[in-house]
Structure 1
Amino acid sequence: MRVVITGILLGCVLGLSSCSSDLSAQTTTHWPISQLDYIGQTVVAHNRVFEHTIVGGLSSIDYDKQHQQWVMISDDRSEESRARAYVGKMTISAHQVSPMKFTQVITLKGKLEKPYPNLPEYLLHHQQVVPDLESLRIDPQTHLLRYTSEGDRKLGLNPFIRDANWQGEYIDSLALPAAILKSPQHGFRDNLALEGSSFSDNGRYYFTSMEAPLIQDGPVPSLTQGAFGRVLKYDRAGVLLAEYVYPIDKLPAKPGLGRHADNGVSEMLAIDDTHFLMLERSGIQNAAGQYHDYIRIYQADATGATNVRGEDKLVAGHFQPMRKRLLLNFESLHLPHIDNIEGISFGPRLPDGSRTLVVISDNNFNASEVTQILAFKVVMAD
């Protein structure tokens, strides 16, 4: 059954009317987290070399509770070094964060049991795919790795979700709905596809999120209106159970004349089976060509959201989106610099039993950007 969204709420989602970022105004919901208290940060040195690879492009982070370590994926398209993930040790106390000590490189491999190729190798042999890896999670039940790639429309390569062991060897993959796959004027947008993912805490479900709308679902965010992105829900057997619509904010600031600006979901993190932390990241270029990153963490609730699974095209007014509420605007931290935050994970518990939350930035292998890791204490709602 289709649920018709009210005109007031639809206007709020699209940024067409004056309203707060809390889409729960008309529907009562319980938000699990009340606030995030900043603890501290650590920075990875630019062009840090570890095991003959350049550490950079870190687009996700996840905590391995079993071994008290972290795993991070690089979005290097096998250009600086082979497509890979890093394992590291980092401790968090109530007042500080230790430096990240890298302990292992995991070279990821495709279906041919070989490392992923770079672009020249792909064009020469047309074997495997050129990866654009963005999100990596540890399966709570199997302890295997699951990661996403955004694909490449120019090369005709679709996004994918794959499983690997800790040696990087390919194990299996999940099927994507037809609506996401590339065809003329249809499917994912380049560099705006499977940017986020998360297992539910018990591993019962797996979720993945699009950074921006599919081509047929409408335009990307602008200064006057937001956009609709999709969140996919899979069960343990890899069956797609649901697709929900997440309302993405409009641009938070005006770019310089002729300069670039974007906003999208750079990562997601399941709090439970229906509540999520959604990391929205906006890069706004000023007149001089310099970027300012606007980072916000929202709580989102899929309860009551329409399951649009099988819908090739979203039609505004014919679905109920996920509700969202702003949890943290990074501007409020008043830190000297906030970079291109792309990863988010719960971490170890503090001595008082509180959970920690960690975010990480992707430096794009650019000397003007940094790889920073920020930690927070999670304050749960009563």
Structure 2
Amino acid sequence: DAVGRRLQVAKKPGVPAVGGPFVFLCEEDTPAIRLASLETGELLGTIPLPANLRSRRPNRGNEPLAIDPDFRHLWTANEEALTIDGPPAAVGAGTVVRLTRIPVDAAAADGAGRKGGQPRGVFQAAYPVDAPHSFARVFPGQPLSGLVALVAIGDGAVLAMERSGCPGLPPFANRIYLVDAARATDVAAVDRDLADRRENFVEKRLLWADTLGINLEGLCLGPRLVDGNRALVAIADNGGLGTPNQLVGLGLVAPAAPPEPAVLGTTAAIVAIAVLVGRLSRPRVTGA
């Protein structure tokens, strides 16, 4: 933590700041969202999650966590389908996850007053994750594909980063989509079999895809660039594969033509500007 103590807690993939000396921490395998002090490292409370998220698969629970620019809502999602909702990703087949929005004020009140209770005002959208990327098999095993990072940009819009990993070459691939959850059907009351409700799948627009061969699992907004565009920063951990931690710089570029009515006016096309490991990437820009 900020004062050098080690937090003895579960894996925390998503860590969004809240505009003060606090952060929310997302624990994938519990699953849980906790509030912690940046000054002391102390865990200050737990945000209740919908009960359906408890049926996560091992190491495929709540991976991403984001907070709206106005700090009113938290966004999270299970990485691959819950056991109650459908199968995980496989060769040629994607998976469906629950993109979940939780009001911060109600969740904080519920966490303080009703430990273990259900949060109020929860919204869930059925998010279809793409199938794993094409690969040349080198090792035995099954590929995976999941939703690993979110960036909330306001008015119900989020940037969603998918990651697929395969037992071959290239080992990893990533895709970034723009999702307008404000137009999505609320499936929070759907008990199970979400994968069978294709009519309820949220629409997503592909902004960027590339097979850099590194395990990108985190995404956040960066500073404004000299050309006026906004930066994004993606991060890869070593993933236990002997590869170093790496950063990838991305630029949010305004579209040249007005977006279609179904797309937010803040829609951006993403272009990779550099891989910060001494080598350039050659991005494939789609959806610009």
TM over 0.5: yes
Deviations 1:259-281 (A, max 9, x none): 23111011111122321111111
Please report how far the alpha carbon of residue 240 of structure 1 lies from its aligned counterpart in structure 2 after TM superposition: 4.2
Structure 1 counterpart of 2:217: 342
Contact 2:170/2:213 (<8 A) preserved? no
Structure 1 counterpart of 2:263: none
Contact 1:197/1:268 (<8 A) preserved? yes
Match of 1:268 among 143, 147, 150: 150
Give distance in 1, aligned partners of 2:225 and 2:139: 47
The aligned amino acid for 1:165 is S
Spell out the pairing of 1:1-382 with structure 2 (5 A cutoff): 107=5, 115-116=7-8, 131-140=10-19, 142-151=20-29, 158-166=30-38, 167-181=40-54, 187-237=55-105, 238=107, 239-254=120-135, 255-256=137-138, 258-286=140-168, 292-315=171-194, 316-317=196-197, 319-331=199-211, 337-367=212-242, 369-381=243-255, 382=258
Please report how far the alpha carbon of residue 165 of structure 1 lies from its aligned counterpart in structure 2 after TM superposition: 0.8
Contact 1:177/1:310 (<8 A) preserved? no
Secondary structure at the aligned position of 1:339 is classed as: coil
Secondary structure at the aligned position of 2:171 is classed as: strand
Give distance in 2, aligned partners of 1:232 and 1:198: 10
Give distance in 2, aligned partners of 1:146 and 1:261: 30
Contact 1:267/1:278 (<8 A) preserved? yes
Contact 1:303/1:322 (<8 A) preserved? no
TM-score (norm 2): 0.77
Give distance in 2, aligned partners of 1:246 and 1:318: 10
TM-score (norm 1): 0.59
Deviations 1:349-378 (A, max 9, x none): 1233321110000103543x1211111221
Q: Greater Rg, structure 1 or structure 2?
A: 1
Secondary structure at the aligned position of 1:190 is classed as: coil
Quickly say closer, same or farther: Cα 1:106–1:373, change in 2 above 3 A. farther
The aligned amino acid for 1:211 is E
Runs of 5+ unmatched residues, structure 1: 1-83, 85-103, 109-114, 117-129, 152-157, 182-186, 332-336
Quickly say closer, same or farther: Cα 1:147–1:311, change in 2 above 3 A. same
Please report how far the alpha carbon of residue 304 of structure 1 lies from its aligned counterpart in structure 2 after TM superposition: 2.6
Give distance in 2, aligned partners of 1:260 and 1:319: 28
Contact 1:133/1:148 (<8 A) preserved? yes
Secondary structure at the aligned position of 1:172 is classed as: strand
Report how many aligned residue pairs link the two structures.
Answer: 240
Greater RCO, 1 or 2 (C-alpha within 8 Å, sep 6+): 1
Identity across the alignment (%): 28
Deviations 1:72-99 (A, max 9, x none): xxxxxxxxxxxx5xxxxxxxxxxxxxxx
The CA RMSD over aligned residues, in Å, is 2.1
Deviations 1:199-250 (A, max 9, x none): 1111121111110010010001122322110111111221342011111011
Please report how far the alpha carbon of residue 148 of structure 1 lies from its aligned counterpart in structure 2 after TM superposition: 0.6
Give distance in 1, aligned partners of 2:244 and 2:59: 20
Runs of 5+ unmatched residues, structure 2: 108-119, 259-288
Secondary structure at the aligned position of 1:347 is classed as: strand
Contact 2:89/2:143 (<8 A) preserved? no
Contact 1:305/1:319 (<8 A) preserved? no
Secondary structure at the aligned position of 2:229 is classed as: coil
Give distance in 2, aligned partners of 1:107 and 1:231: 33
Secondary structure at the aligned position of 1:303 is classed as: helix
Deviations 1:45-103 (A, max 9, x none): xxxxxxxxxxxxxxxxxxxxxxxxxxxxxxxxxxxxxxx5xxxxxxxxxxxxxxxxxxx
Structure 1 counterpart of 2:278: none
Please report how far the alpha carbon of residue 310 of structure 1 lies from its aligned counterpart in structure 2 after TM superposition: 3.2
Give distance in 2, aligned partners of 1:359 and 1:195: 15
Give distance in 2, aligned partners of 1:241 and 1:251: 30
The aligned amino acid for 2:17 is I
Please report how far the alpha carbon of residue 299 of structure 1 lies from its aligned counterpart in structure 2 after TM superposition: 1.2
Give distance in 1, aligned partners of 2:254 and 2:221: 13
Contact 1:138/1:145 (<8 A) preserved? yes
Secondary structure at the aligned position of 2:84 is classed as: helix
